[in-house]
Structure 1
Amino acid sequence: MWRERTNKDDKTARALFTEEHKELVAEAGTWMKDTSTSCMVVATLIVTVLFAAAFTVPGGNNDDNGKPVFLGTSLFAIFLIANMIGLFSSSTSVLMFLSFLTSRYAEEDFLYSLPKKLIIGLATLFISITALIVSFTLTLFIILQSKQSFIIIPIGLMAYLPIYSFTVLQFPLLIEMVHSTYGNAIFNLQEASNLLT
Structure 2
Amino acid sequence: MRFKFLQHIYNTKLMHEQTCKIVKILCEAAIEPDDSLVVKGVFGPPMRTATMMGTLELVTEIIRVYPFSVWFCGGDTECNVFHLAVLHRKENIFNLIYQMNMEKNYIMQLGDKNDNNILHLAGMLGPSNKIAGAALQMQWELQWFKEVEKHVTPSFKWRRNSDKKLPSEVFTENHKELVKEGQQWMKNTATSYTVVAALVATFVFTAAFTPPGGNDSEGIPNFLNEPAFMIYAISDALSLFTSSTSMLMFLSIPTSRYSEEDFLKALPMRLSIGLITLFISIASMLLAFCAALYLMLVHRVKWIAAPIVLLACIPVTFFALLQFPLLLELVFSTFGPSIFGRTRKVKIW
Shared fold, TM over 0.5: yes
Which of 55, 74, 78 lines up with 2:227 in the alignment?
74
* Aligned pairs (5 A) from 1:38-117: 38-62=192-216, 64-117=217-270
* Aligned pairs (5 A) from 1:123-138: 123-138=276-291
Please give the TM-score of this superposition, normalised by the length of structure 1: 0.90
For CA contacts below 8 A with separation 6 or more, give which structure has more relative contact order.
Answer: 1
Structure 2 spans left out of the alignment, 5+ residues: 1-154, 342-349
CA distance in 1, matches of 2:267, 2:302: 47
CA distance in 2, matches of 1:3, 1:145: 70
CA distance in 2, matches of 1:59, 1:95: 33
Partner of 1:171: 324
SS in 1 for 2:300: coil
Partner of 1:191: none
Q: Is residue 2:336 matched to residue 1:183?
A: yes
Q: What is the CA deviation profile of residues 154-187 of structure 1, one whole-angstrom value per residue up to 9, with x for unaligned ones? A: 2331122111011101111111111111222345
Instruction: Give 1:87 shift.
Output: 0.1
CA distance in 1, matches of 2:286, 2:171: 46
Q: Is residue 2:170 matched to residue 1:16?
A: yes
Which residue identity does 2:262 align to in structure 1?
D
Which of 28, 35, 41 lines up with 2:189 in the alignment?
35
Instruction: Give 1:47 shift.
Output: 0.3
CA distance in 1, matches of 2:227, 2:197: 28
CA distance in 2, matches of 1:109, 1:187: 21
SS in 1 for 2:253: helix
CA distance in 2, matches of 1:113, 1:94: 16
Whose radius of gyration is greater, 1 or 2? 2
Partner of 2:135: none
CA distance in 1, matches of 2:338, 2:330: 11
CA distance in 1, matches of 2:156, 2:338: 21
1:77/1:155 Cα in 2 relative to 1: closer, same or farther (>3 Å)?
Answer: closer
Is the contact made by 2:186 and 2:254 (CA closer than 8 Å) also made in structure 1? Answer: no
Is the contact made by 2:158 and 2:166 (CA closer than 8 Å) also made in structure 1? Answer: yes
SS in 2 for 1:65: coil
Partner of 1:143: 296
Instruction: Give 1:50 shift.
Output: 0.1
CA distance in 2, matches of 1:65, 1:75: 21
Instruction: Give 1:6 shift.
Output: 1.8
Query: Aligned-pair RMSD on alpha carbons?
Result: 1.4
CA distance in 2, matches of 1:130, 1:5: 54
Over 3 Å off, 4+ runs: 149-152, 185-188
SS in 1 for 2:158: coil
CA distance in 1, matches of 2:252, 2:230: 33
Structure 1 spans left out of the alignment, 5+ residues: 189-197
Which residue identity does 2:253 align to in structure 1?
F
Instruction: Give 1:132 shift.
Output: 0.6
CA distance in 1, matches of 2:192, 2:321: 17
Please give the TM-score of this superposition, normalised by the length of structure 2: 0.52
Which residue identity does 1:31 align to in structure 2?
W
Instruction: Give 1:151 shift.
Output: 4.3
1:187/1:17 Cα in 2 relative to 1: closer, same or farther (>3 Å)?
Answer: farther
SS in 2 for 1:2: helix
Which residue identity does 1:47 align to in structure 2?
A
User: Which stretch has the larger CA shift, 141-150 or 91-100?
Assistant: 141-150
Is the contact made by 2:186 and 2:253 (CA closer than 8 Å) also made in structure 1? Answer: yes
User: Which stretch has the larger CA shift, 43-52 or 138-147?
Assistant: 138-147
Question: What is the aligned-residue identity percentage?
Answer: 51
Instruction: Give 1:153 shift.
Output: 2.8
Paired residues in the alignment total: 187
